[in-house]
């Protein structure tokens, strides 16, 4: 029997910007019957580009999850018979209607994090390529990101209607640059061999599909082999070659295909479509990208989209076929199924070995845990309010269930559960494992939070379920920032409320408040990222606020060790936070990741943003009691863990603003020491005063280091991937290494081929990749290898500052053809000269 999950696909469309993701998605929605007309990116009328900022720029920023059925629902009586035929493999899965949850991901590098968090919840992906541009640096990047999560992928070569479209060449690039063997499931159909692009030839089913010219793509004439032979003999001949090549590629990766080939008496054409599909599924499921099914089309001309949808059903996995979800409980990581089956051993997370006892294998969780889901996206919808997109990983999330957020340690009821169809939302009673849906009106959940529902139905689930988290997404550190100010004092609260909405939507945005100046700073991944944030805040959310100039987010660090600095905070002297407390702080460069033996067993350590804060209380035991009679104790209203958390927060506040240039600190280790005799003043000592004292003491330690000349500036260094023609490589390298102070890491195809050879025992040899000739290739004698090697890629590490405005420069060096992508590699101490220049600039600007 076909169960719900078997007929569900959670897929993403990934691609280089402008490859045609949104255009393709619009066609998918149209053919599935969920929209009545085809939206147009260029007119700004698409369903998925729904933010005004996106429509204005014609790009997709926020990924939208949309559900539709493919093929459109057929009547149910027929369904049972069809289902049987599908189960026995006499019909392909695409004859049965599947529920497809589609996530349209953004392509811009500033939104890498958006892409990552979408990928995380996908079971499969369609990579759209621009048939003119071929594999671009960003295509490689998204492809590799999907590879990180082992997501089965197929490739769709789009825009074949355009002049200069080169399917064959793109296929070879797919092989060499994406590092897998292209398995051509289609070849393009150009009228008479070199005329207009009019359809595709299906290598699996051995038919030609000709699309009525200028139509909406629903009128398709199917040509069988005989028909093709008669009308397009050269194409029929090519189809034979393509079939042989497909069988060959699959045979090299799956013995089932070798058997099928022998059973078919070595006749490539006699192998059934079912055998081929089942073999492709098998090859894709591993998620290693060794076999890459390739499709052809021109979405804008409404050619070739339905076969890609069929392929989603036929080749990509259902949620049940994917590896189990990774989870963590405290410091222990494992798999969700193991946890449910009582096979996961949970350790406690303290530093000393003696206290690391194995707590249980936790049993009975399968009875307690009713549902477990990940909030992978939060969107503020102007009509429906906050929409929290979730993917259910286990059990069922019921409407009205009490959901505990294990990140926020808070619960709320899911009073409104929805499924989002193209442009309407449908309320549902429940969402089961493998499904994607929306909790509307949620007050707290943020992107990346784990939500669980328990049989106990209590506000807090029993331990250790309250700590259960699905594998979190790593958020890269922000490298650009700008100030953001309310236009008047009365707008301030509203601005902060709206900033909070933005932060729930996008965890790669950060907002900090400068304690001294009261200024609010917003930081993020790129200039465009912050500009969009501003547009969202001011344009969409209508906050009365102004964003200042966007600048690079440098960091400060200490190069020397301070003495211990003690400070007493007394509200009677300052008048802000209430109470009186003290703290001793010392700072030093942060080198080691673990505590040393000098620290007591129960010292609290907190690592954040590349800094480490350690809180020591040498005269107290783990419970906060004095070690001997001479030592002072804590007053009744404070526990040791409260003091530790108050101190940590104070140090973090100090770390947010360096002593030299007000940049956040990085690579700093702060050690705070509590001596109750000196730091606690009975009932006068409040949490807030402890935080304030810790902040003052830490700042004093920074000032001391600063007075010794021990503060240095760190700058973000980027991993840069440049794609360009062979002819421009020399000048690009020259420019990167001498004018921009960058360091070339790898060069072009040689290194890459070597790297690939290590990853894949069989090197991808271009001459062994089958691809049909491109129309312009007829009569040309240029070697294939030369053509594919025309594009080369350069990997380099370059300071972010030198990359500002680089696109324009690269374009001018490459006649407009060069592309690049970048992501943060790390923060690095600036060299003396660079630091001097920056300081002069900062002083000059002030």
What residues make contact with ligand GDP under the rule CB under 6 A? 15, 17-23, 41-42, 58-60, 107, 158-159, 161-162, 298-301
State which residue, 60 or 411, has the beta carbon closest to Mg ion.
60
What is the Cα–Cα distance from 415 to 511, expressed in whole angstroms?
A: 30
Cβ-based nearer residue to ligand GDP, 127 or 643: 127
Q: Shortest distance, CB of residue 61 to ligand GDP, whole angstroms?
A: 10
With CB under 5 to 8 Å by kind, the binding choice for 18 among ligand GDP, Mg ion, none is ligand GDP
- Choose the one of Mg ion, ligand GDP, none that binds residue 19, judging by a C-beta under 5 to 8 angstroms depending on kind: ligand GDP
CB atoms within 10 A of CB 381: 12
Coil vs helix vs strand at 424: strand
Of the pair 17, 465, the CB lying nearest ligand GDP is at 17
Least gap, CB of 22 to Mg ion (angstroms): 3
Which option in Mg ion, ligand GDP, none does residue 405 bind, with CB closer than 5 to 8 A by kind?
Answer: none
Residues 6+ away with beta carbon under 8 Å from 314 = 92, 93, 94, 277, 280, 281
* C-beta of residue 327 within 8 angstroms of C-beta of residue 333: yes
Instruction: Say whether the peptide bond before residue 71 is cis (omega within 30 degrees of 0).
Output: yes
Burial of 42 (0-12, 13-18, 19+ CB in 10 A): exposed
**CA 283 to each of CA 261, 266, 307, 310, 820: distance values in angstroms, whole numbers, following the listed order:** 17, 21, 19, 17, 31
Please spell the DSSP secondary structure of 269-322, one letter per residue.
GGS-HHHHHHHHHHHHHT-S-SEEEEEE-BGGGTBSHHHHHHHHHHHSPPGGGS
Of 17 and 680, nearer to Mg ion (C-beta) is 17
DSSP 8-state code for residue 266:
T
Minimal distance, residue 41 CB to ligand GDP, in Å? 4
Evaluate whether 577 touches 691 at the Cβ level (below 8 Å): yes
Cβ 27 to ligand GDP shortest distance, Å = 9
Cβ-Cβ contacts under 8 Å for 144 (sequence gap 6 or more): none
Q: Which does 158 bind (CB under 5 to 8 A by kind): ligand GDP, Mg ion, none?
A: ligand GDP
Bridge partners of 716, per DSSP, are 827
Cβ closest to ligand GDP, residue 38 vs residue 705:
38
349/423 with CB nearer ligand GDP = 423
Residue with tokens 């640096």: 137
**CB 155, min distance to ligand GDP, A:** 14
Handedness of CA 57, 58, 61, 62 (dihedral sign): positive
d(CA 601, CA 613): 15
| Closest distance to ligand GDP from the beta carbon of 107 (Å) | 5
Q: Choosing among ligand GDP, Mg ion, none, which partner's interface includes residue 110 (Cβ < 5 to 8 Å by kind)?
A: none
Report what 686 binds from Mg ion, ligand GDP, none; CB cut-off 5-8 Å by kind: none
Q: Which residues pair with 7 in a beta bridge?
A: none
299 binds, among ligand GDP, Mg ion, none (CB under 5 to 8 A by kind): ligand GDP
Distance (Å, whole) CA 108 – CA 17: 6
CB of 211 to ligand GDP, least distance (A): 12
Residue 161 contact among Mg ion, ligand GDP, none, beta carbon within 5 to 8 Å by kind:
ligand GDP
Compare residues 17 and 204 and give the one whose CB is closer to ligand GDP.
17
SS3 state of residue 790: coil
Of 6 and 531, nearer to ligand GDP (C-beta) is 531
22 or 691: CB nearest ligand GDP = 22
Least distance to Mg ion from the beta carbon of 11, Å? 16
Residue 159, class by beta-carbon neighbours within 10 Å (0-12 exposed, 13-18 middle, 19+ buried)?
buried
List residues near Mg ion by CB under 5 A: 21-22, 60
Structure tokens belonging to residue 413: 């009821």
Nearer Cβ to ligand GDP, position 111 or 569?
A: 111
Beta pairing class for 410-413 and 402-405: antiparallel
Report in angstroms how near the CB of residue 57 gets to ligand GDP at its nearest.
Answer: 10
Taking the least distance from each CB to Mg ion, the nearer of 65 and 183 is 65
With CB under 5 to 8 Å by kind, the binding choice for 434 among Mg ion, ligand GDP, none is none
CB 429 within 8 A of CB 406: no
Q: What spatial distance separates the first Cα and last Cα of the chain, rounded to whole Å?
A: 71
Instruction: Rank residues 50 and 421 by Cβ distance to Mg ion and give the closer one.
Output: 50
Least distance (Å) from Mg ion to the CB of residue 479?
24
| Nearest-approach distance from CB 55 to ligand GDP, in angstroms | 11
Least separation in angstroms between residue 108's CB and ligand GDP is 9
Task: CB nearer to ligand GDP: give 111 or 223.
Answer: 111
* DSSP result, 29-98: HHHTTS-SS---GGGT--SS--SHHHHHHTS--S-EEEEEEESPPPPHHHHHHHHHHHHTTSS-GGGS-E
Q: How far is the CB of 40 from ligand GDP (least distance, A)?
A: 7
Burial of 471 (0-12, 13-18, 19+ CB in 10 A): middle
300 binds, among Mg ion, ligand GDP, none (CB under 5 to 8 A by kind): ligand GDP
């Amino acid at each position: 029997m076909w169960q719900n999950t078997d007929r569900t696909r959670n897929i993403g469309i990934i691609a280089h910007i402008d490859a045609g993701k949104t255009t393709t998605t619009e066609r998918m929605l149209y053919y599935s019957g969920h929209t009545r007309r085809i939206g147009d990116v260029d007119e700004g009328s698409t369903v998925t580009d729904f933010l005004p900022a996106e429509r204005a720029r014609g790009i997709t920023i926020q990924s939208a999850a949309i559900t539709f059925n493919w093929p459109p629902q057929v009547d149910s009586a027929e369904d049972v018979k069809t289902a049987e035929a599908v189960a026995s493999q006499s019909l392909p899965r695409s004859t049965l209607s599947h529920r497809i949850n589609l996530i349209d991901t953004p392509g811009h590098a500033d939104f890498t994090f958006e892409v990552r968090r979408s990928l995380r919840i996908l079971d499969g992906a369609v990579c759209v390529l621009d048939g003119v541009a071929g594999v671009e640096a960003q295509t490689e990047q998204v492809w590799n990101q999907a590879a990180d999560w082992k997501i089965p992928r197929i490739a769709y070569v789009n825009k074949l209607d355009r002049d200069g479209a080169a399917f064959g060449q793109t296929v070879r690039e797919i092989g060499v640059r994406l590092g897998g063997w292209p398995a051509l499931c289609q070849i393009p159909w150009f009228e008479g061999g070199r005329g207009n692009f009019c359809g595709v030839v299906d290598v699996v089913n051995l038919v030609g599909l000709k699309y009525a010219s200028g139509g909406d793509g629903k009128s398709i004439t199917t040509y069988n082999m005989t028909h093709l032979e008669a009308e397009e003999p050269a194409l029929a001949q090519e189809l034979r070659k393509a079939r042989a090549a497909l069988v060959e590629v699959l045979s090299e990766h799956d013995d089932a295909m070798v058997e099928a080939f022998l059973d078919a008496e070595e006749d490539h054409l006699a192998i059934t479509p079912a055998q081929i599909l089942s073999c492709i599924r098998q090859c894709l499921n591993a998620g290693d990208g060794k076999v890459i099914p390739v499709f052809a089309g021109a979405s804008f001309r409404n050619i070739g989209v339905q076969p890609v949808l069929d392929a989603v059903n036929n080749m990509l996995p259902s949620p049940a076929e994917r590896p189990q979800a990774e989870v963590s409980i405290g410091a222990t990581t494992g798999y969700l199924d193991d946890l449910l089956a009582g096979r996961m051993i949970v350790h406690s997370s303290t530093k000393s070995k003696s206290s690391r006892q194995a707590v249980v294998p936790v049993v009975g969780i399968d009875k307690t845990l009713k549902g477990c889901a990940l909030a992978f996206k939060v969107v503020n919808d102007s009509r429906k309010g906050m929409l929290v997109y979730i993917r259910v990983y286990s059990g069922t999330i019921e409407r009205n269930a009490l959901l505990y957020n294990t990140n926020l340690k808070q619960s709320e009821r899911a009073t409104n559960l929805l499924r989002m169809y193209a442009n309407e939302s449908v309320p549902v009673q429940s969402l089961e494992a493998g499904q994607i849906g929306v909790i509307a009106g949620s007050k707290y959940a943020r992107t990346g939070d784990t939500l669980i529902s328990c049989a106990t139905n209590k506000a807090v689930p029993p331990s250790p379920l309250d700590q259960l988290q699905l594998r979190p997404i790593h958020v890269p550190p922000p490298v650009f920032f700008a100030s953001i100010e309310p236009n008047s004092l009365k707008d301030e609260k509203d601005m902060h409320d709206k900033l909070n909405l933005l932060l729930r939507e996008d965890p790669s945005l950060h907002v900090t408040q400068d304690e001294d100046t009261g200024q609010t700073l917003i930081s993020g991944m790129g200039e465009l990222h912050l500009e969009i944030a501003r547009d969202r805040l001011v344009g969409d959310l209508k906050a009365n606020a102004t964003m200042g100039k966007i600048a690079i987010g440098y960091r400060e660090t200490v190069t020397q060790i301070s003495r211990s600095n003690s400070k007493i905070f007394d509200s009677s002297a300052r008048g802000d936070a209430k109470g009186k407390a003290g703290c001793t702080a010392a700072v030093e460069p942060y080198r080691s990741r673990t505590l040393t033996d000098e620290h007591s067993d129960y010292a609290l350590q907190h690592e954040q943003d590349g800094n480490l804060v350690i809180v020591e209380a040498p005269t107290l035991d783990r419970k906060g009691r004095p070690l001997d009679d001479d030592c002072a104790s804590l007053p009744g209203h404070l526990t040791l863990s409260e003091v530790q958390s108050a101190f940590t927060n104070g140090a973090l506040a100090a770390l947010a603003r360096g002593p030299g240039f007000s940049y956040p600190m990085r690579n700093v280790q702060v050690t705070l020491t509590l001596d109750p005799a000196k730091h606690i003043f009975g009932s006068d000592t409040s949490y807030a005063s402890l935080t304030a004292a810790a902040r003052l003491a830490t700042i004093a330690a920074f000032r001391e280091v600063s007075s010794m000349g021990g503060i240095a500036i760190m700058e973000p260094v980027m991993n840069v991937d440049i794609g360009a023609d062979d002819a421009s490589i020399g000048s690009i390298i020259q420019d990167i290494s001498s004018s921009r102070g960058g360091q070339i890491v790898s060069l072009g195809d040689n290194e890459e081929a070597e790297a690939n050879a290590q990853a894949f025992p069989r090197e991808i040899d271009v001459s062994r990749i089958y691809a049909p000739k491109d129309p312009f290739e007829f009569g040309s004698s240029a070697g294939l290898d030369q053509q594919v090697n025309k594009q080369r890629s350069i990997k380099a590490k370059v300071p972010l500052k030198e990359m500002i405005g680089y696109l324009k420069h690269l374009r001018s060096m490459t006649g407009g053809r060069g592309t690049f992508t970048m992501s943060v590699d790390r923060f690095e101490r600036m060299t003396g000269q660079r630091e001097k220049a920056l300081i002069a600039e900062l002083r000059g600007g002030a």
